Amino acid sequence: MGDVKYQSEDNNNVPVVKKGQLFPKKAEVDLSFENLTYTVSTFSHYKLVKKEILHGIHGSFRSGQLTAIMGPSGSGKSTLLNVLAGYSTSGSSGSVYLNDALRDEKQMANISCYIQQDDFVRELLTVRESMTVAAHLKLPTTMSTLSKVSLVDGILESLGLAIHENTIVTRLSGGQKKRLSIALELITNPSILFLDEPTTGLDSLSCSQLVSMMVDLAHNQNRTIVCTLHQPTALLFEKFDQVYVVTSGQCLYQGPPHLIIPYFAERTIVCPPYHNPADFLIEVAIGEYGTTGLKKLIDSAPKYIYTNDQHHCHKISDTYQKNNSTDEKSSINIKQVNRPPSYLQIYHLYLRNIIMYKRNKLNLQLRIIAHLLIGLIFGYLYRDVGDDASTILSNMVFIYGTNLFLVYTGQMAVIVSFPLEYKVLKREHFNGWFTLFPYMISILLVEIPFQILCCLVYIIPSYVLTGQPMELMRFSYFTIFLVVTSLTSQSTGFLCGAGLPVKISVFIGPVFVVLLSVFGFAIRLRDTPTIYIWVHYFSFVRSSYQSLVYSLYGFDRNVLPCKDEMYCHYKNPTKFLSEMEFDQVHMNFEFLYICSVFLCTYVLTTTVIWYRLNKR
């Protein structure tokens, strides 16, 4: 692709893609649908009721055309787009055809992409970094890095993003972000692009640039581009090849924008002079020109397509039966893309995470400083309590506080971040960037070392200041148990973040760990009411706390010095452990138990995320 030349901008600063230059030829796909319905279950008067949103609609979107789905708010535009893109499947019925052959979900995923209304892009990467990672994840491993770079160059150039390639995404304008979302998906050269309200939130110039760019992509690359649209200006409206109008889940009109006025006029609905046809369309759709006319339009429009050239109408199923395999377009021969194997996906996702973590320095520094500061404060408050029989109970409080602090920070570090991450993850996953397992591993590969670092920053100063025994074995046990407990707590944070709404998870998560921490510290097993005994055994925080105490006072520790007092009841650590019921702690068992909670929680988290990502 080295000799490829791209015309970057026309006189209006609008990026232009020249025909056939950028991508290898890809299947041209017409998308049509017949008798499409979509039903959801909702609660009404304490009853579960079915609500039909799309009422058996028909339509057809052609390759090489830019189609706008329009209609009043709440008419079902996004729902239709979601169903066609395969984003919402359960609750839908009817037939969707790709070149007159019934849609296959896997095939659909290979040839289409879905760009949602909000720009769910990675804010902490530059434009080029975003594109490079996407290219490595989405393109076959057989493609050389040089070819990937020139493809990325070409797309950036053609979408007018080349001059912003080193800009961090968060600093891009709304229009540029939208173009980046499109650029990211163009990497695999999809035949069909679905865009949900791409112009919302953009000023008129950005809207015009974006629509011109979509027109270029449709006309010059023969792509099928379908987007939902709110009231556009008359000029913008004319740029579309087709308009599909929905009202109350029914089709009102499908055809070229300039034929709307004559089409409606034929049915006695006349557009006032100098009126924006897009506004007129919506006014008709909401019944401002009378409900009888509207009903007639709905009755006549759905099954037929009003075409520009011949003014003829055809029923989709007729075409399907007629065409069979004679049409060149009717079979889409799509080779399965040879995507990178899991280990390469992990590698690229890991590198991406590292870049984002480095850019998010403030957060990391705050986490480190908070751990160091609290370590120093706790160390000062409980100074030298570890080597004195008279302060053994203070040391218990220090150990409890330490355990709870690391459990809490481990969990809170991720409980909020995941819900923010989820929307971008959903977009990337839906558009086939990677599979879930490599994604989870890539997160753990960054989060786990960082959490270990935070633990060490806290443990080292507090351990020394509180005068705990300077024995490598005890220090190692103490550190290892705190680290695995903190990581396990982090895993519960991921689970809460993945499975619950933020407002609930930030409440439930900490309450849950505080509840678990009470057992073994505030109440001994023998005093625990029978109905709560299972919590005692279940609590990994209790398990950790007892192991921490044992690692400092167990293993036949010598008699403790009794400073400042004549008599110390707990001079003998074995007696102390026995009275506290900590003498029977099996360190290996407790370690394995905490590790298994860690593993189970991650398996559960992955399952929850998988379910949410695949729930359509």
Positions that interact with ligand ATP (CB under 6 A): 40, 42, 51, 53, 71, 73-79
Distances in whole angstroms, Cα of residue 330 to Cα of each of 28, 34, 316: 10, 17, 13
Residue 23: left if φ>0, alpha if ψ -120 to 50, beta else—which one?
Answer: beta
Q: In whole angstroms, what is the distance from residue 463 CA to residue 467 CA?
A: 7
Shortest reach from residue 206's CB to ligand ATP, in Å: 19
End-to-end CA distance of the chain, in Å? 38
Which residues lie below 8 Å from residue 159, measured CB to CB, with a gap of 6+? 15, 179, 180, 182, 183, 186, 213
Shortest reach from residue 54's CB to ligand ATP, in Å: 8
Shortest reach from residue 484's CB to ligand ATP, in Å: 41
Q: In whole angstroms, what is the distance from residue 315 CA to residue 303 CA?
A: 6
Of 75 and 250, the one with the shorter C-beta distance to ligand ATP is 75
Of 116 and 547, the one with the shorter C-beta distance to ligand ATP is 116
> Please, what sign has the CA dihedral across residues 300, 303, 305, 311?
negative
Shortest reach from residue 74's CB to ligand ATP, in Å: 4
Q: Is 370 helix (H, G, I), strand (E, B) or coil?
A: helix
Q: Is 60 helix (H, G, I), strand (E, B) or coil?
A: strand
Sheet of 224-228, strands arranged across: 112-115, 192-195, 224-228, 65-70, 242-247, 250-255
Q: Taking the CA atoms of the chain, what radius of gyration do you get in angstroms? A: 31
Shortest reach from residue 51's CB to ligand ATP, in Å: 6
Q: Which helix (H) or strand (E) holds 612?
A: helix 587-614
Shortest reach from residue 109's CB to ligand ATP, in Å: 22
Of 51 and 171, the one with the shorter C-beta distance to ligand ATP is 51
Query: What tokens does 22 get?
Result: 């950028």
Shortest reach from residue 419's CB to ligand ATP, in Å: 19
Of 117 and 167, the one with the shorter C-beta distance to ligand ATP is 117
Shortest reach from residue 73's CB to ligand ATP, in Å: 3
Of 84 and 135, the one with the shorter C-beta distance to ligand ATP is 84
Indicate the residue type of 287: G
| Phi and psi, residue 40, nearest 5° | -120, 160
Shortest reach from residue 357's CB to ligand ATP, in Å: 35
Of 28 and 197, the one with the shorter C-beta distance to ligand ATP is 197
Of 84 and 389, the one with the shorter C-beta distance to ligand ATP is 84
Interior/surface letters 467-494, b for 16+ CB within 10 angstroms, e for the rest: bbbeeeebbebbbbbbbbbbbbbbbbbb
In the DSSP assignment, the letter for residue 139 is S
Q: In whole angstroms, what is the distance from residue 275 CA to residue 282 CA?
A: 12
Of 78 and 221, the one with the shorter C-beta distance to ligand ATP is 78
Are 177 and 169 contacting, i.e. CB atoms less than 8 angstroms apart? yes
Of 37 and 317, the one with the shorter C-beta distance to ligand ATP is 37
In the DSSP assignment, the letter for residue 259 is G
3-state secondary structure 377-413: HHHHHCCCHHHCHHHHHHHHHHHHHHHHHHHHHHHHH
Q: Is 326 helix (H, G, I), strand (E, B) or coil?
A: coil
Of 164 and 427, the one with the shorter C-beta distance to ligand ATP is 427
Shortest reach from residue 207's CB to ligand ATP, in Å: 16
Shortest reach from residue 49's CB to ligand ATP, in Å: 10
Shortest reach from residue 246's CB to ligand ATP, in Å: 7
Helices of type H across 174-306: 174-186, 204-221, 234-238, 260-266, 277-285, 291-300
Of 45 and 312, the one with the shorter C-beta distance to ligand ATP is 45
Of 23 and 38, the one with the shorter C-beta distance to ligand ATP is 38
Shortest reach from residue 53's CB to ligand ATP, in Å: 4
For helices 436-465 and 417-430, give the axis angle rounded to 10 degrees: 160
> Please, what sign has the CA dihedral across residues 487, 489, 491, 497?
negative
Of 196 and 388, the one with the shorter C-beta distance to ligand ATP is 196
Of 453 and 613, the one with the shorter C-beta distance to ligand ATP is 613
Shortest reach from residue 111's CB to ligand ATP, in Å: 24
Residue 7's CB is within 10 A of a number of other CB atoms, namely: 13
